[in-house]
């Protein structure tokens, strides 16, 4: 069962309710004794959890008494220590200053035990592990559990069936999750178990624990095979229709059109001696008239210039360098101030290199570890990796090192799905694959 726990809301509610309950109880009393704790509240499970927190803290304090200079494994020492603890347990005396935090912690445990049992048992097993959890400690712990008691009982049976008297904390957590997943119908309704507690200080259960909606539906590519690539036909251009070839025409040679000498002598005007004097006289007459007219025009222009002389335009020379040298690309010019002016070609190269850097940085994919939110990170570790933080870290690094989506999916399927016995129908598996798809 997947859920999202609002730890801040649970903590705030537990502190307020603990303050109200202690204020009512310690009106005329300075401390509370052992028998009074068992009748402190109408909810029996809350009272048992208060006693549980007292004794678990007490056991941790007793472990601090053990010194390397003495033999605490001696039978006489063990018996004396046991007698001492039994005698001391009958003389519980807690003042309000120390009792109120115990009540707040127990209210928080009661909410998690009812609405989020996996979260509650995981925290309790981790606190018991040092680094192993003994079977005796689990049996003592089970005496204080009434709600969803079948979980801790099945864990004890699993350890006893293995033939060991102790087990590692991660293995114990795996037994606990197995008991929850195999018996979802045995889980008690949180609305019923917390009804009396929430009436003492009104609140909604959804403020503390709620089931999140799945991000997306399971990806289609998990079940459907990859589509086959259709073979593309090779493009063959259509040849144009054949045209009829016309017979080649032989170009005519120049010697075919030569005029015979006899015809040219008979048809040319210049060859006749009688026409030659007339042509010469005509030419001399036209030449004489032409030179006469031009000379008269030149004289008129000279007279006009003498009357109104016009100044010639003066053009200032901007630079001694030729025009083709001034606009030659790829050079810089030093101005009078000493600064170098960049040519248009160089500025375009700089803009092009800057744009290429921006495009290359924009195309980089975000690391996979930054895509998964924190609450889903804890969910994946607990539900898919059996609480193994190192395995999750290794999987994230290997996903970031993959080249494409297919390689990342194949990595998860061939190694981690088989290793931790994933089911592709499980919502968490689909959500994890969805985040992997987002990376690529």
d(C-alpha 432, C-alpha 426), whole Å: 10
pLDDT of residue 296: 53
Contact between 368 and 399 under an 8 Å Cβ cutoff? The reply is: yes
The bridge status of strand 4-5 relative to strand 31-33 is: unpaired
Sign of the Cα pseudo-torsion (190, 195, 200, 201, in order): positive
pLDDT of residue 226: 52
Query: pTM of the full predicted structure?
Result: 0.48
pLDDT of residue 203: 92
d(C-alpha 93, C-alpha 87), whole Å: 13
Give bridge partners of residue 198 from the DSSP assignment: none
d(C-alpha 157, C-alpha 227), whole Å: 49
Contact between 131 and 169 under an 8 Å Cβ cutoff? The reply is: yes
Torsion of CA 129, 381, 182, 433, to 10 degrees: -170
**DSSP code string of 290-357:** HHHHHHHHHHHHHHHHHHS--PPP------SS-HHHHT-TT--EE-TTSPEEPPHHHHHHHHHHHHHH
pLDDT of residue 268: 43
- Residue-level pLDDT, tens digit, the chain, 440 residues: 567 889 999 999 999 999 999 999 999 888 999 889 999 999 999 999 999 999 877 877 777 777 888 888 888 888 888 888 778 778 888 999 999 999 999 999 999 999 999 999 999 988 877 778 889 889 988 999 999 999 999 999 999 998 888 898 889 999 999 999 999 999 999 999 999 999 999 999 888 987 654 444 555 555 555 555 555 555 555 655 555 555 555 555 544 444 444 444 444 444 444 444 444 444 444 445 544 545 555 555 555 555 555 555 444 444 445 444 444 444 444 444 444 455 545 555 554 444 444 444 444 567 877 878 887 888 888 888 888 888 888 888 888 888 898 888 888 888 888 888 888 778 888 888 888 888 88
Contact between 155 and 179 under an 8 Å Cβ cutoff? The reply is: yes
Q: Which two tokens stand for residue 378?
A: 């804890």
Contact between 121 and 151 under an 8 Å Cβ cutoff? The reply is: yes
């Amino acid at each position: 069962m997947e859920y999202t726990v609002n730890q801040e809301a649970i903590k705030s509610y537990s502190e307020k309710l603990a303050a109200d309950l202690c204020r009512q109880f310690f009106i005329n009393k300075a401390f509370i004794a052992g028998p009074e704790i068992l009748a402190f509240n109408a909810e029996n499970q809350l009272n048992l959890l208060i006693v549980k927190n007292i004794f678990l803290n007490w056991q941790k304090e007793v472990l601090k008494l053990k010194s390397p200079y003495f033999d605490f494994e001696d039978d006489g020492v063990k018996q004396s220590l046991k007698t001492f603890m039994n005698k001391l347990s009958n003389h519980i005396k807690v003042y309000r200053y120390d009792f109120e935090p115990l009540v707040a912690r127990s209210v928080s445990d009661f909410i998690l035990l009812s609405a989020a049992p996996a979260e509650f048992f995981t925290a309790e097993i981790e606190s018991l592990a040092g680094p192993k959890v003994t079977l005796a400690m689990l049996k003592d712990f089970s005496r204080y559990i009434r709600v969803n008691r079948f979980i801790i009982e099945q864990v004890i049976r699993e350890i006893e069936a293995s033939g060991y008297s102790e087990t590692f904390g991660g293995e114990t957590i795996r037994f606990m999750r197995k008991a929850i997943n195999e018996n979802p119908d045995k889980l008690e309704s949180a609305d019923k178990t917390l009804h009396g507690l929430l009436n003492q200080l009104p609140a909604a259960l959804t403020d503390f624990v709620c089931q999140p909606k799945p991000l997306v539906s399971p990806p289609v590519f998990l079940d459907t095979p990859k589509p086959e690539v259709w073979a593309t036909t090779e493009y063959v251009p259509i040849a144009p229709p054949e045209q009829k070839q016309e017979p080649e025409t032989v170009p005519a040679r120049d010697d075919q059109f030569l005029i015979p000498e006899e015809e040219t002598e008979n048809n040319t005007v210049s060859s006749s001696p009688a026409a030659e004097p007339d042509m010469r006289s005509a030419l001399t007459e036209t030449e004489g008239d032409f030179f006469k007219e031009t000379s008269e025009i030149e004289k008129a222009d000279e007279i006009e210039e003498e009357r109104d002389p016009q100044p010639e335009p003066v053009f200032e020379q901007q630079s001694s360098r030729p025009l083709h040298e001034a606009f030659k690309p790829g050079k810089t010019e030093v101005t009078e101030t000493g600064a170098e002016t960049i040519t248009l070609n160089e500025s375009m190269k700089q803009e092009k290199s800057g744009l290429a850097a921006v495009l290359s940085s924009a195309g980089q994919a975000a690391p996979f570890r930054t895509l998964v939110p924190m609450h889903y990170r804890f969910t994946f570790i607990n539900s898919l990796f059996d609480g193994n933080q190192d395995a999750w870290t290794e999987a994230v690094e290997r996903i970031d090192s993959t080249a494409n989506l297919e390689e990342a999916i194949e990595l998860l399927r061939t190694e981690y799905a088989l290793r931790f016995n994933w089911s592709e129908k499980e919502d968490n598996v689909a959500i994890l694959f969805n985040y992997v798809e987002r990376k690529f």
